[in-house]
Amino acid sequence: MTAAAPGDRARAMASVAVTPEAAFALFTEQMDLWWRRGRRYRIAPGDRGLMAMEPRLGGRVFESWHDDAGVERVREIGRVQVWEPPHRLVFSWRAANFAADESTEVEVLFSSTESGHTQVSVEHRGWASIRPDHPVRHGEEVAAFIRTMGMWWGDLLTALRRRGAS
């Protein structure tokens, strides 16, 4: 295993009060129920969009919505690269402002804890291949941007944790 380049990986984790099987299904099959809404998390304005993952190897991670003219829009965010239910998931990730040759990768691990909960760990990596002045970074220095991405995933995992508790 090679060492990661500085500023390459953002990490977050949360404990979800369900089994790994249920946490994996919640993450992959019910993404729209826990993935936060709003411009910070989605492309679609307001509550119009649907965030989804096709639960299989090669499946799309995408958002769909109807624009003001009623035309359906679909934005593919990534593709499932590793599908190992209920323990591991890896998918490519492309921000809305990425060029065709730019992408990062998200790995999600689901581990049982002694309390009967599931620790869900996210590592979003590949940021070192995205230039430091890329618009996705919003002018932040590399370390600050990686912290921001970790907090962004932390917000999403908090929503996943809450959904798992309901």
What does the pLDDT look like over 40-74, one tens digit per residue? 999 888 778 899 999 999 999 999 999 889 999 99
Residue 6 domain-assigned (yes or no): no
Closest C-alpha to 4, from 137, 124, 122:
124
Residue 2 domain-assigned (yes or no): no
For the chain, list residues with pLDDT below 50.
1
Q: How far is CA 101 from CA 48, 64, 132, 158, in A?
A: 28, 22, 16, 31
**pLDDT at residue 9, rounded to an integer:** 96
Closest C-alpha to 61, from 43, 38, 87, 48:
43
Domain of 110?
12-165
CATH number of the domain that residue 108 is part of: 3.30.530.20
Residue 16 domain-assigned (yes or no): yes
Write down the pTM of the prediction: 0.93
Residue 1 domain-assigned (yes or no): no
**pLDDT at residue 6, rounded to an integer:** 62
Residue 132 domain-assigned (yes or no): yes
**pLDDT at residue 87, rounded to an integer:** 98
Residue 3 domain-assigned (yes or no): no
The Cα–Cα gap between 86 and 79 comes to 18
Q: How many domains does the chain have?
A: 1
Residue 5 domain-assigned (yes or no): no
Residue 57 domain-assigned (yes or no): yes
